[in-house]
Amino acid sequence: MAKVMLFIDGTWLYKNMPRLSEAYGQADFRIDFGKLPLVLSGEVARQLGSTSVDVVRTHLFGSYAANYDLKDDDAVQRRLDFFDMLKEEHNYELELFPINFRGRRLRRNDRDPEDSFEPKEKCVDISLATAMLYYAAIPNAYDIAICVVGDQDFKPVLQNVRKLGKRVAIASIKGSCAPEYADARDEARVKDYGIIWLDDLLEELALRYERHKLPCQSPMHKGDREVWTTFYPRRGQRFYCPDCQSEFASQKQEAQQEYVSSNVEEVKPAAEAAPAPTPGMRIPGVVKKKVADRGFGFIQTEEGLQYFFHLTDLEGDLEFQEVEEGLHVEFEIKKDPNHDKAGAAQKVRRVG
């Protein structure tokens, strides 16, 4: 039985989702990532005239924003939740790299037009190419690589993997695909099968939702807690209804205005020997201020740095109702404090 491994350029796929939505004719088109490996390996089997292919692993390479303006927090969290879902529900292997936005908005249109900042994605292409070659060099790891790509940069790795005796299939999107990959005569010698167009498989790939009822877990929920939804929470994840979510969004916006006023004059410079706190680091702190009616508060660290948290940033058994000023917690830094603004915390847990 032929062993298939998938290598997906997640950044490219994400960027080209609007093309697929347009081709499908529905703005909310989403790929069912549970089905994607089977649909693509099915296409390869069809071209081989056999049904005996076995998907051994699916690798996805991508990036996520770090150290960004919190107005974009919902978008970033959705992306991270999406990656968690791929890993936990569909057993994808992920290689993800942070892009440092240095406190800025994600979209260029939301940034100062004078600002020449360019977010730099690092390592995504190289790590895909490296993984393809790495597994090609391990005996029997795979027979056929299915690459979900469009950028021309992968040409050398596709050629070299074939020189190692592996077969290569390319799945791509019309209008976002290097001409060498689409070339039916394959003069560049990059593939062993006819190109697979995702555009032609949308019916099979579309994610279909089932509606069901879930209780909203916001302490500020109004009315009947049981709400119709298409959301399936994973272990440890909390469900908040759309009304509460939009309420949270405005709470966070309001809280942003308050960052400045949060006792910043008390901030002492960090001791020189201490490593500078950076996003992703887990550190301890004490709840300094709680704005109970608006669902947020601030945590202060030993050095006097302050970090904003929203009730949706609490984890484990910690409920917003139980958070009190003076409570010892630990948290992950989502955003650094910057000049006179507090930073932001996430994954806040009780300690002791």
Positions in 138-157 near Zn ion (CB under 5 A): none
User: Distance between CA atoms of 221 and 212, rounded to whole angstroms?
Assistant: 18
- Which CB sits closer to Zn ion, 6 or 244? 244
What are the beta bridge partners of residue 286? Answer: 300, 328
The verdict on 216 binding Zn ion (CB under 5 A) reads yes
CB of 220 to Zn ion, least distance (A): 7
The verdict on 301 binding Zn ion (CB under 5 A) reads no
- Which CB sits closer to Zn ion, 134 or 232? 232
Q: In the 3-class helix/strand/coil scheme, how is 57-80 assigned residue by residue? A: EEEEEEEEEECCCHHHHHHHHHHH
Q: Are strands 93-100 and 53-66 parallel, antiparallel or unpaired?
A: parallel
The verdict on 312 binding Zn ion (CB under 5 A) reads no
- Which CB sits closer to Zn ion, 39 or 220? 220
Using the rule CB under 5 A, give the single segment among 27-35, 218-226, 265-273, 339-347 that binds Zn ion: 218-226
Q: How far is CA 153 from CA 95, 110, 198, 264, 266, in A?
A: 18, 30, 20, 47, 51
Contact 313, 348 (CB under 8 A): yes
- Name the E strands within 106-264: 144-148, 167-172, 196-197, 212-215, 226-229
Among 16, 58, 218, 306, binds Zn ion (CB under 5 A): 218
CA angle (294, 295, 298) in 5-degree steps: 105
The verdict on 311 binding Zn ion (CB under 5 A) reads no
Using the rule CB under 5 A, give the single segment among 19-27, 46-54, 220-228, 298-306 that binds Zn ion: 220-228
- Which CB sits closer to Zn ion, 50 or 246? 246
CB of 308 to Zn ion, least distance (A): 22
- Which CB sits closer to Zn ion, 168 or 244? 244
Positions in 224-243 near Zn ion (CB under 5 A): 241
Closest CA to 324 of 291, 294, 352: 291
Positions in 240-269 near Zn ion (CB under 5 A): 241, 244
CB of 331 to Zn ion, least distance (A): 24
CB of 295 to Zn ion, least distance (A): 12
Tokens of 125: 């292409």
Q: Are strands 282-291 and 226-229 parallel, antiparallel or unpaired?
A: unpaired
- Which CB sits closer to Zn ion, 115 or 224? 224
The verdict on 221 binding Zn ion (CB under 5 A) reads yes
- Which CB sits closer to Zn ion, 130 or 245? 245
Residues 44-83: x where in contact with Zn ion by CB under 5 A, - otherwise, as a string: ----------------------------------------
CB of 349 to Zn ion, least distance (A): 23
Using the rule CB under 5 A, give the single segment among 136-144, 196-204, 215-223, 340-348 that binds Zn ion: 215-223
User: Distance between CA atoms of 204 and 154, rounded to whole angstroms?
Assistant: 27
User: Distance between CA atoms of 127 and 24, rounded to whole angstroms?
Assistant: 31
User: Distance between CA atoms of 131 and 137, rounded to whole angstroms?
Assistant: 10
User: Distance between CA atoms of 224 and 215, rounded to whole angstroms?
Assistant: 8
Q: What residues line the site for Zn ion (CB under 5 A)?
A: 216, 218, 221, 241, 244
